[in-house]
Homo-oligomer: A and B are copies of this chain.
Amino acid sequence: MNKLLVVGSVAFDGIETPFGKADKIVGGSATYISLAASYFKLNQCVVSLIGGDFPKNYLEMLKARNIDTSGIKVIENEESFYWKVKYDNDLNSRETLLTAINVFENFNPQIPESYKDADFLMLGNIHPRLQMQAIEQMNKRPKLILLDTINLWISENRDELLEVLKEVDVISINNEEAREISNEYSLVKAAKKIMKMGPKYVIIKKGEHGVLLFHKDAVFFAPALPLEEVFDPTGAGDTFAGGFVGHLASTSNLSFENMKLALVAGSNLASFCVEKFGTQRMESLTQEEVYRRLRNFKQLTQFDIELNEV
């Protein structure tokens, strides 16, 4: 089985949507990524940093899902990273109410010896300097390095981000981030520019409007499943990324055709994530639920045109 190493935040979120509030629930990029990836056949380890206030039973839940948490360092007398967010009525925009870095101020990712040869390295959204530190600790070049980032680092730490992008195979960002990195409004042009910065694959997430995968001159699109109710978009992008890398790691196939299936697998998992607050829905999916919804995805998007008939 392939080894997946996930580096990112394990933290607290405070979330307010038009449908309700949840404070100090568990979130963080690495949490969502690893939960999503846990639905695939692979070995994975999470590297992060938490305070003494983090619920130990949550770590037990991750372990029970076959996630190696030995890379999650605990500093008992400090507080975990804490982010509060409020979503607008349409859930398409959000306002950060609080960012308490806390224990993360001194985060220096320490990759466990047994994962320095990981086949897949997924760098969740953290400071690009920390992402670079993680790459530098690897004993051998992973088969695939994937990176997620946000506007904050694009605007405040652009040079460091550009340095780490040179080392990365796949970048996963949303449409606004793609525009900000590239200074191009057209997502097609943006993807082309970003491919020149290092990543051979550019994933542009458009939230409820689906996700695009660019590689050389090829492009593939997976929609988001149209849902009657979306309760909380938090973590959907990370869940997507976890499903994407999870599919690739479990199939050991880096062809573009298989990347398409990874995009669908990621979108499929993300469609569950938004149905409940926080990680709730992602903690207890059954393979049957995942499978059934994948069937919905096929019905939603697949058609049969004989091109010679046109």
**Residues in B whose Cβ lies below 8 Å from that of A302:** 301-303
Q: Which residue of B lies closest to A90 (CB)?
A: B185
A310-B290 contact, Cβ under 8 Å, with A303-B264, A305-B264:
yes
Which 9 residue pairs are nearest across A and B when measured between Cβ atoms? Answer: A209-B209, A260-B303, A188-B228, A221-B223, A291-B310, A188-B226, A221-B300, A186-B228, A301-B301
| Interface residues of A, Cβ cutoff 8 Å to B | 89-90, 185-189, 206, 209-210, 212, 218-221, 223, 226-230, 257, 260-261, 264, 287, 290-291, 294-295, 298-305, 307, 310
Residue from the set A89, A186, A300 with the largest chain B CB neighbour count within 10 Å: A300
Can you list 5 A-B pairs, Cβ within 8 angstroms, ordered by A? A188-B228, A212-B226, A220-B299, A221-B301, A302-B302
Residue from the set A188, A226, A230, A295 with the largest chain B CB neighbour count within 10 Å: A226
Cα distance A89–B209 when bound, in Å? 20
Q: Which residue of B lies closest to A308 (CB)?
A: B291
Cα distance A227–B191 when bound, in Å? 12
Contact A227 B188 (CB under 8 A): yes
Cα distance A89–B186 when bound, in Å? 12
Contact A294 B298 (CB under 8 A): no
**Residues in B whose Cβ lies below 8 Å from that of A305:** 261, 264, 294, 298
Instruction: Give the shortest distance, in Å, between A301 (CB) and chain B (any CB).
Output: 5
**Residues in B whose Cβ lies below 8 Å from that of A206:** 209
